[in-house]
Amino acid sequence: MVAHPRATARAHRLRPLNQAKPIEVEADESGEPWGVVLERERLVVAAVQDRWRIDDEWWREQPVSRLYFSVLLGGGRTLTIYRDLVTGRWFQQNYA
């Protein structure tokens, strides 16, 4: 990554990075994920390693309210997913 150029940002040229991608998630009644579909393959969630919630931009028309889960899948892979608490939809997104 390079340092901030300190130049005026040309907003029309800015392209989003790390956009959330919709993902198919199977969750139980409490909202805990127990299965995800990745590349048309159904994978079982072996463990939920971490969970956290972010609420932001509540003053806007579309506030941000997400419940993130860091899950360990059956094959040993870890994945970060979140449930949009406004729409109820699931997304995958890196959260570093």
Partner 1 sequence: MRLACVWLPHFPIAIERRNSPALNRRPVIIGETTEQRGAVLDCSAEAEGQGVRVGMPLRQALGLCPSASFLPPDLPRYGDAFDQILRALETMSPLVDPAALGCAFIGLGGLNGHYRDEMALGDALAQVVRRASGLMPSIGLAEGKFTAQVAATVSAPGEVCLVPPRQGRKFLAPIDVSLLPCSRDTLRHLELFGLRTMGDLASLPLGAVQAQFGAEGRRIWDLARGIDREPLRPLRREESIREHLAFYAPLISREALVTAGRQLLTRLLGQPAMRGRAARRMTLRALLSDGRSWERAIVFREATSDREQMLCVLKTAVETAPLTAPIEELSIELSGFAGETGKQEGFCSGDRRRQPQVAEAVHQLKARYGRSPVLQVVEVEPWSRIPERRHALIDYDP
Encoding tokens for residue 70? 């860091």
Write down the least CB distance from residue 55 to partner 1, Å.
9
CA distance 89 to 33: 12
Give yes or no for residue 5 binding partner 1 (CB under 8 A): yes
Contact string (CB under 8 A) for partner 1, positions 46-65, x = contact: --------x-xx------x-
Q: Which is nearer to partner 1, 34 or 52 (CB)?
A: 52
Residues 61-90 that bind partner 1 (CB under 8 A): 64
CA distance 92 to 56: 18
**For residue 32, what are the CA distances in angstroms to 16, 37, 70, 90?**
29, 15, 11, 12
* Residue ranges that bind partner 1, judged by CB under 8 A: 1-5, 9-10, 13-20, 54, 56-57, 64, 93-96
